[in-house]
Amino acid sequence: MKRSLLFIPANSPAMLQNADIFGADALIFDFEDAIHPLEKDAARDLLTHYLDRFKLNDMELIVRINDKTTPYYVDDLKRVVSLPVDTIMLPKTRYEDLIELDTLLHKLEKQSKREHPLSIIPIIEKAISLFEVEKIASHHRVTGLLLGGEDLATDLEVERSQEGTEILLARQMVIYASKAYQKDAIDTPFTDVSDQEGLIKDAMFAKSLGMTAKACIHPIQIDTIHDIFSPSEKQIAYAKRVLHAEQEANDKGLGVFSVDGKMIDKPIIERAKQVLKRVKP
Amino acid sequence: MPYASAGTLSSNDCLITVEPADSLVITIESIVFDAFGDQIERVIQDVCKQLKIKKMKVLVQDKGALDYTIKARLITAIHRLEGKV
């Protein structure tokens, strides 16, 4: 289960070399906004040789490519298919883009004899995408949805605020679509890296709505995100008691049982299982 | 004379400039030349051999780049030069 996803500009040797020491659950190597248009080729070459030199284990490796309206899209894809990464992050995703990407990936993966098909994390950052978000979440390659708050605000012609009122509906739509298909609901990054209190508030609010992870743009944000998106000791202990009590009830052939004086039913058992699934081994 | 560059002069990076020449001429300017000059030259030689390049002027301005960075920057610079000649 991912809690934190850290963006790393793919053309920065200093950032790449330290990428795996910060403890993020996933790394997003960026070919898009963090890379100047004249440096896209250099970023592809640098990431290729970095991944050839360093073996990164225990974390999901994601590449954010440039979107299909750019001249870099196909070159990005051809390169990513040859890399030892897990997932493509697709900016400004429309459902038709996803279908087109899936078809292209089938072809490229076959050509390159890639063993494991790439997953996709679409970025939901256009107003129009929100009207297709359920279809996008249902796609078999999609493992999670990332809300792109900054670009969405631009599309909505509004300013981003600390409270995030302007993206509340979008957050909820991304969450509902993700939950409907058991995919990760990944919250938009908090962009003021000097404001830890703001990050805590923003992440806690996102979690309270149902987000399961948060993207971040600086390593300093990782510990806070882990604290907030990991279950608490109390939640873990209660979940274990519920599952233990369920086992005992099953052994005795009891249909109903209670924990701490409270009747336990199926949704509570499911929630307990979800909590324990989110505990990092 | 066409030339092409790749990389930066930031820490952990290197700026590599290549241009056509009559033989392989490698010039290295590095903050760690005494310790790693030979190794940097070996990386450049290996990449050129791999790409079957025998004639080229290569200037490496190194700021403490690891081998993978030198290799990547050289390959990018060569591809950029190919697009110009």
Residues of chain A neighbouring B68 (CB-CB closer than 8 A) = 46, 49-50, 52-54
Q: Which domain holds residue A81?
A: 4-229
A281 pLDDT more than 70: no
Query: Which residue, B71, B56, B58, is CA-closest to B13?
Result: B71
Q: Which two tokens stand for residue A171?
A: 């957050």
Per-residue pLDDT tens digits for A235-255: 899 999 999 999 988 888 887
What span, in angstroms and rounded, lies between the C-alpha atoms of A252 and B36? 71
Q: Do A211 and A140 belong to one domain?
A: yes
Classify each residue of A96-123 as buried b or exposed e, where b means 16 or more C-beta atoms within 10 Å of its C-beta. ebbeebbebbeebeeeeeeeeebbbbbb
Contact A179, A210 (CB under 8 A): yes
CB contact under 8 A, B80 and A46: no
Per-residue pLDDT tens digits for A81-113: 999 999 999 999 999 999 999 999 999 999 999
Classify each residue of A240-279 as buried b or exposed e, where b means 16 or more C-beta atoms within 10 Å of its C-beta. eebbebbeeeeeeeeeebebeeeebeeebeeebeebeebe
Residues of A near B (Cβ–Cβ under 8 Å) read 12-14, 17, 41-42, 45-46, 48-50, 52-54
Task: Quote the minimal CA–CA distance from A25 to chain B in Å.
Answer: 24
Q: Do A183 and A250 belong to one domain?
A: no
CB contact under 8 A, A17 and B12: yes
| DSSP-derived pairing of the beta strands A144-147 and A184-187 | parallel
Which string of DSSP letters, residue by residue, matches A29-43?
A: EESSTTS-GGGHHHH
Mean pLDDT calculated for residue range A179-204: 96
CATH number of the domain bearing residue A120: 3.20.20.60
- How many distinct structural domains can be found in chain A? 2
Domains of chain B plus CATH, in order, are 4-82 (3.30.230.10)
Residues of chain B neighbouring A13 (CB-CB closer than 8 A) = 10, 12-13, 65-66, 69
Q: Do A23 and A71 belong to one domain?
A: yes
Give the residue from B61, B67, B68 with the most A CB atoms within 10 Å of its CB, the best one to mutate. Answer: B68
Per-residue pLDDT tens digits for A11-38: 999 999 999 999 999 999 999 999 999 9
Complex prediction ipTM: 0.96
Q: Specify the amino acid at residue A108.
A: L
Q: Do A260 and A212 belong to one domain?
A: no
Q: Which of the listed residues A229, A244, A259 is the one where a domain comes to its end? A: A229
Q: Do A132 and A240 belong to one domain?
A: no
